[in-house]
Each structure stands twice: as structure tokens, then as C-alpha cells.
Amino acid sequence: MNNIALSYNLFTPIAVIIIVINLEKFPMITLLSTKEAAKFLGVNEKMIYTLVSEKGLPATKITGKWLFPRHLIEQWLELNTINYPDPNSQLPKDQGLLIIAGSNDPLLEKAISLFNSIHSDYLAVFGNLGSMGGVKALLHNRCHMASSHLLQDDDTEYNFGFINSKPGKTPALINFCKREQGIVVKKGNPKKIFSFTDFAKTGVKIINRQMGTGTRLLLDKELQKKGISNGKIKGYENEVFKHLDVGLEVLAGRVDAGPCIKPIASLLNLEFVPIRWERYDLLITKENFFDRAVQLFKEMLNEKRFKDLVESIKGYDLSLSGKMLFPKE
């Protein structure tokens, strides 16, 4: 109660409660002008417009002027950082702990539970950080594996362009699964949403994923291609941290749609608008690749009991699961 002062007057016909809030606990979002954003990034103002249209620099247009949330620009800078310094610490070896961090997925959660039930001497845990957060954790040696589905600028390949930290330091890539990415909508699709561009239609409200996730990256790329400002989309700024949370918001009727994977629509009996199949990979540094727990998890991806996990869930393709994508087997 240190930050809230209450004044309650019992001697008046109407009791009055005055609440004084310490606003330092609720900082305002800092919005930069085009000139301020250019100074912050060390570029000229003309380059700012190029970065918005070609590189996804976070921006919104209000009353005809571009504004740039500073905290999102800082996240964008980190998202586009490819040369990380060598980590100062090492993960403990052979301690029976397997740390996975990055993009969340229902099948990955099931796989972790399966691993823990099979290998009682080990404990696998997951940190839901989003794809970019997982890559960062991996390159800083805070996890053994990172789960990621970051679409590259060529709109074809995944993850490689985000992990080239230093020559000879590129992590190994193992495919966990392929999955169908798209939009979850209410049964019957009453708002007639058939693409990400329909998010900008009048009367449509969405829920979004947080910055640094592969799903958010895909959405922003598609909006940029069509020249649609995120400021035109109601609910764009409302973020959740899991695919399941997107589905639950739609199921509860609080929003009309959200970017999500098909397995969530399958689990919640929602309708799904497909956008593309994507590759969902596990990244492993060379230092951790031959850890016993890592190898046991990798081997499990080729077993029938893992593949049986998706029997009743639509939207997964396990044809590449467990396959080494880099370096080539």
C-alpha cells in the first residue's frame, strides 16, 4: 500500500474515496518523432521511411504523422542483431537438466512431458521467450536448445539468417516439426476474415502475439507487403504470450481473430484460415550438441511414441522431425 493513499470521509452523506497512485510505477510509453527516431538510430530521416517499409521498423501513423514507440524500436534492434559476443558463462554439464527456450508450441509441451516420463534421471524444462528470445538465450549460453520459426527475408528459409553469430559458431539445426500457420476465427467466420489484410477491416478486432515471436514477424511482413499500417488494426497492440491464449481470446468472443497455428484451432474447435506451412526448428550450439540429454531428446523425435502425440491434432507434419538441417547429415 506504499503507493496508494486512501482518504475516506465518514462524516459526509456520501463516502468519498480518493486514490493517489504513484505514476512512476506505471511509466508512459515514449513515442519518438521521425526526427527523434533518426537521431536514436544514427541515420537520416529518409532512411527511417526505408526501414519502416523494408525492414519492419515498428511505427504507427496518427493524424498523418509517423510515431515510433521507443521500447519497440529497442526490441527491433535486438531482433536484427546477428553478431552476439561470446558468453561469459557455461551451462552445467551432465547435471540431468535440459533447458529449452524460445517459441512455444503445444506439441513441444507434449514432447517435454514425454521425455520426462521416459527418462526419469533427467528433467526437461521450457522457457517461453518467443523465437528471438530463444535465439538470444542460446547465443548467451542460457539454454541447451532454442525453438524457433523465424521467417527470413527470402520468404522461404527459416532461422539461418538469425543465427550467424560468428564464423564457425553457427548452431546446429534440427527440425522439430512443420506446422500450419494462419488465423483463428470464430465458427462460421462471421467477419469474413480470409487474410491478414482483413485485420484492417472496419469492425474487426484482433489479438496479437508479442514482438520477437515468429508469428508476429510473419504478420508484420505480410502487412508491410500490402502497405497496411498497424495503426489501422484494432487490437494490434494487445499481446499474449502463447498460441493457446490467442485461441482462448477468440473462443471467449473478446476478439474476432488472431494470428495462430492450426493445432490450436483443432484443439478448441475454432475455424482456421491457412496462410502457410512453416518449419519449426530446434537450434543447438556445438558446445551442447553432444550432451546426453540433448541427444536423448533428439533421438526421441524419431520414435513412434513421439509421432503418436499428433494423432488427434490437425496442423502438424512430422516428415522432417529429428532430421539434421545444418550441418547436413
Beta strands 145-148; 97-102: pairing state: parallel
CATH number for position 302: 3.40.190.10
Residues 162 and 290: their CA atoms lie apart, in Å, by: 23
Are 273 and 185 within one domain? yes
Going by their DSSP bridges, the two strands 239-240 and 208-209 should be labelled as: parallel
- pLDDT value of position 100: 98
- Residues 190, 163 within the same domain: no
Same domain (yes/no): 67, 201: no
The answer to whether 294 and 146 have CB atoms below 8 angstroms apart is no
User: Per residue in 270-324, pLDDT tens?
Assistant: 999 999 999 999 999 988 999 999 999 999 999 999 999 999 899 999 999 999 9
Domain-embedded: residue 1: no
pLDDT of 131 over the 70 cut: yes
pTM of the model: 0.78
Which of 79, 109, 137 terminates a domain? The answer is: 79
Reduced to 3 states (helix: H, G, I; strand: E, B; else coil), residue 15 is coil
- DSSP state, 170? P
Domain span at residue 50 reads 32-79
Residue 57: CATH number of its domain: 1.10.10
- Asked if residue 270 and residue 190 are part of one domain, the reply reads yes
Residue at 5 is within a domain: no
CA atoms in the 13 A half-sphere facing the CB of 172:
20
DSSP per-residue letters across 106-155: HHHHHHHHHHHHH-TT-EEEEEE-HHHHHHHHHHTTS-SEEEE--B-TTS
159: pLDDT confidence band, cut at 50, 70 and 90? confident
Tell me the per-residue pLDDT of 52-103, one tens digit each, with 9 for 90 and over: 877 778 888 777 788 888 877 876 776 666 555 555 567 767 679 999 999 9
Q: How many CA atoms lie within 13 A of 74 on its CB side?
A: 7
pLDDT tens digits, one per residue of 221-272: 899 889 898 889 999 999 999 999 999 999 999 999 999 999 999 999 999 9
Q: Are residues 193 and 318 in the same domain?
A: no
Cα 33 from chain centroid (whole Å)? 27
Evaluate whether residue 195 is within a structural domain: yes
Handedness of CA 214, 215, 216, 220 (dihedral sign): positive
Mean pLDDT of the chain: 86
Query: What pLDDT does 108 receive?
Result: 98
- Does 199 share its domain with 273? yes
Q: Is 2 part of a structural domain of the chain? A: no
Residue type, position 159, single letter: N
Q: Which of 79, 113, 142 represents a domain boundary (last residue)?
A: 79
* Structural domains counted in the chain: 3
Claim to verify: residue 289 and residue 144 sit in the same structural domain: yes
Asked if residue 153 and residue 69 are part of one domain, the reply reads no
The answer to whether residues 130 and 186 belong to one domain is: no
Q: Which three cell numbers stand for residue 134?
A: 530463444
Are residues 208 and 129 part of one domain? no
* Overall residue count recorded for the chain in this entry: 329
> Does residue 17 fall inside a structural domain?
no
The answer to whether residue 207 is domain-embedded is yes
Residues near 128 by beta carbon (within 8 Å), at least 6 away in sequence: 101, 104, 241, 242
Evaluate whether residue 87 is within a structural domain: no
Pair 51, 74 in one domain = yes
163 with 288, same domain? yes
Residue 254 is assigned to a structural domain of this protein: yes
pLDDT of residue 29: 65
Element (H, E) at 317: strand 316-317
